């Protein structure tokens, strides 16, 4: 019997598509490219700062990465404009399957563990009205190290007073899945952008930034720490572990 279900936030519970829409409104025709490079650099900077022991919180990463992206594309944006675009991260929409899943997991403890700052996550949960379905909101700020560093996952044991074997961890991000499985959680992968499933062949010269991002981030990683279960939707999770989600 698992005691707690812990979810990644960005890309797992929350759809980041509105970030692209916000960027597109400012830079027509380039929203998708900017948003996807922004996200890749956001993660890369989180890993770099952790490895260098020079922690900056995720809000800082969220501002630095578009600065890099826009400069690389030779586009100009004021600091205020970057702040306005970054604020989209405080008001993301949850995926349609998020509420169904979280509601069905009662009475198990339900938590977010995210690279986001506590203030970012609190605002996000409040604005999306998802806070009513969550018992804990956990940020890596507590240990000043980003996922997939082991100390980030230790927060769950400490905050929820559970053993890692009692935890189901849910993510759509390959790096997060590897980190959580290596740490000792039971891991569920949500295959939201899996390009490895059969589908129409795409000509190499027609690959756009969405597909490229999916190729890099959407598939299961080729490392030894693989998910215990893979699902297409969060709504599939309660049936894996609960008797009709109520026991």
For 123-157, how does the pLDDT look when each residue is reduced to its tens digit (9 = 90+)? 999 999 999 999 999 999 999 999 999 999 999 99
Least confident interval from 32-36, 168-172, 179-183: 32-36
Residue position matching structure tokens 């700062």:
49
pLDDT value for 247: 42
Q: What is the mean pLDDT of the chain?
A: 90
In the prediction, which pLDDT does 201 show?
52
Find the catalytic residue in 8, 57, 141, 166: 8
The confidence band for 217, taking pLDDT boundaries of 50, 70 and 90, is low
- pLDDT tops 90 at residue 176: yes
pLDDT for res 245: 40
Helices (H) and strands (E) in the chain, counts: 10, 8
Instruction: Give mean pLDDT, residues 197-213.
Output: 60
Determine if residue 53 is left, alpha or beta; phi over 0 gives left, psi from -120 to 50 gives alpha, anything else beta: left
In this predicted model, what pLDDT tens digit does every residue of 72-100 receive, in sequence order? 999 988 999 999 999 999 999 999 999 99
Q: What is the pLDDT of residues 157-166, one digit of tens each?
A: 999 999 999 9
Say how many Å lie between the first and final Cα of the chain, rounded.
Answer: 9
> How many Cβ atoms from other residues are within 10 Å of residue 3's Cβ?
14
Q: Region 166-183: what's the mean pLDDT?
A: 97
Mean pLDDT of 212-226: 76
- What tens digit of pLDDT does each residue of 46-78 get? 999 999 999 999 999 999 999 999 999 999 889
Rg (CA), the chain: 18
pLDDT score of 222: 79
Task: Give yes or no for a contact between 49 and 56, defined as CB atoms under 8 angstroms apart.
Answer: yes
Compute φ and ψ for 169, nearest 5 degrees: -110, 135
Is residue 97 flagged as an active site residue? no
């Amino acid at each position: 019997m698992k005691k707690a279900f812990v979810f990644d936030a960005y890309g797992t519970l929350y759809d980041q598509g509105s970030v692209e829409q916000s960027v597109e409104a400012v830079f027509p025709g380039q929203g998708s490219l900017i948003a996807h490079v922004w996200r890749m650099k956001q993660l890369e900077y989180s890993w770099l700062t952790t490895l260098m022991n020079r922690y900056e919180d995720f809000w800082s990463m969220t501002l630095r990465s578009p600065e890099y992206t826009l400069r690389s594309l030779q586009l100009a944006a004021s600091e205020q404009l970057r702040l306005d675009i970054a604020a989209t991260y405080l008001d993301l929409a949850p995926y349609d399957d998020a509420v169904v899943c979280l509601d069905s997991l009662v009475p198990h403890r339900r938590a977010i563990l995210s690279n986001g700052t506590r203030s970012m996550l609190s605002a996000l949960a409040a604005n999306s009205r998802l806070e009513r379905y969550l018992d804990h909101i956990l940020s890596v700020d507590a240990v000043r190290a980003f996922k997939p560093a082991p100390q980030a996952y230790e927060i769950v044991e400490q905050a929820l007073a559970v053993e890692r074997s009692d935890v189901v961890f849910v993510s759509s991000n390959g790096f997060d899945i590897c980190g959580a499985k290596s740490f000792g959680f039971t891991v569920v992968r949500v295959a939201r952008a899996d390009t490895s499933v059969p589908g129409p062949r795409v000509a190499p010269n027609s690959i756009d930034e969405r597909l490229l991002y999916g190729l890099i981030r959407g598939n299961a990683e080729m490392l030894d720490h693989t998910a215990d279960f893979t699902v297409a939707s969060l709504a599939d999770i309660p049936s894996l572990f609960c008797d009709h989600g109520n026991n």
